[in-house]
Structure 1
Amino acid sequence: MLYIYNDFAGTHSTALAAAYHLKQLPQSERKLTKEEILNVQYFNQLTKKDFGKLLFHGIDEDGNSVYSIGRKRNKYVVPAMKELALLFHEKFHINERLVFSNTSPTVPRAMSLGGLFSRKLNIDVIGVPLLVIGAKQCCDNIYRLVENTKHVATTSFNENVIILENEMYK
């Protein structure tokens, strides 16, 4: 199975989700420390050249691959990837299941503003503290989103491609 966490930039909430998924962060709803947040792989490190790229984060305890992707505002990225996966299932008998999980609903305003200042405007002195504040605000929601994503993936046996929009985390 492939898990693909997706959002606008692919460098904040998706990085945290992948780290939770891979048990690289504490497995609880407690607030993360600044150091834990800033040490997450890919957190606040991607640039515009990374948009649309599948980034590999690791293999989980069940042998599943975990990826993330920044899709910008393009609402067609995930549906196009779903169609490609279904084509591969049909034409080439590749039976790998895909789970797309949208982390955007977990993102608070502080994280959005932090991403704008840090990644777009290159003003880390303002952006990074806002990103840390935002990550602390939403880390419990991201943790629950990951746990729900794993649960749905392991209980939805009839679907080869699962898309979770996760609107309940707004």
Structure 2
Amino acid sequence: MIFIYNCYAGTHSSALAAAYHLEKLPNDRLPTKEEILNVDIFNKLSTDDFGKIIFHGEDREGNKVYTLGRGRSKEVIPALQDLCLLLHRHGNLTEKIIFSNASPTVPLSMTFGGLFSRRLRLHFIGIPLLIRGARQTYHNIADLVNHTKKVAKTTHLPVKVLDNKSFEVNPFQK
């Protein structure tokens, strides 16, 4: 099976989701600042990396885990879904593919942190906001990953797209 966590930039929420999925982050407590910053691509990608599918590793069951920054495009995931279905029908692709949208887990502090750090290069403002946001929404990311794994085990579809709207962050949540 192939898991592809996706979000706007592919460097924050989807990177955290992939790390959590691969057990590189704790499942029994909030991660520390250092653990968050040590996630392989956390806050390291740029707009040049939009559209790149980045491999992060295999989970305990041998499933491959990837991330994707899709930018503002609403067409990327449907196009990839269609391509994967085409390859299932007419190619040699047999693995189930799960696209899981991590964007709904992003709190305002993470949005602004990414803007300040990645776009404006004001890391002294952006990184603390990113850390705060990552810790604030960590339980949402964990729930999203656990939900993604559960759906993956129960779906009979060769390609499944999860929009994960039920994981949207309350903007007034602390």
TM-score where L is the length of structure 2: 0.95
Query: Offset of 1:2 from its aligned partner?
Result: 0.6
Q: Could you say which residue in structure 1 is the equivalent of 2:2? A: 2
Instruction: Choose which of 163, 166, 169 in structure 1 pairs with 2:167.
Output: 169
The alignment covers a number of residue pairs equal to 168
1:30-49 to structure 2, matched below 5 A, reads 30-49=29-48
Q: Could you say which residue in structure 2 is the equivalent of 1:137? A: 136
RMSD: 0.7
Q: Take 1:135 and 1:71, find their aligned partners in 2: how far apart are those partners?
A: 20
- 1:49-72: CA deviation from partner (whole Å, max 9, x where unpaired): 111000000011111100000001
Query: Offset of 1:93 from its aligned partner?
Result: 3.5
- 1:2-33: CA deviation from partner (whole Å, max 9, x where unpaired): 100000000000110000000111123x3221
- 1:77-117: CA deviation from partner (whole Å, max 9, x where unpaired): 00000000011011113211100000000000000000000
Using the TM superposition, name which of 140-149 and 30-39 deviates more: 30-39
Q: Could you say which residue in structure 2 is the equivalent of 1:26? A: 26
Q: Take 2:140 and 2:24, find their aligned partners in 1: how far apart are those partners?
A: 16
Gap runs ≥5 in structure 2: 169-174
Q: Take 2:75 and 2:52, find their aligned partners in 1: how far apart are those partners?
A: 14
Q: Take 2:93 and 2:47, find their aligned partners in 1: how far apart are those partners?
A: 31
Moved over 6 A (4+): none
SS in 2 for 1:58: strand
Q: Take 2:69 and 2:35, find their aligned partners in 1: how far apart are those partners?
A: 22
TM-score where L is the length of structure 1: 0.97
Q: Could you say which residue in structure 1 is the equivalent of 2:119? A: 120
Could you tell me the percent identity over the aligned residues? 54
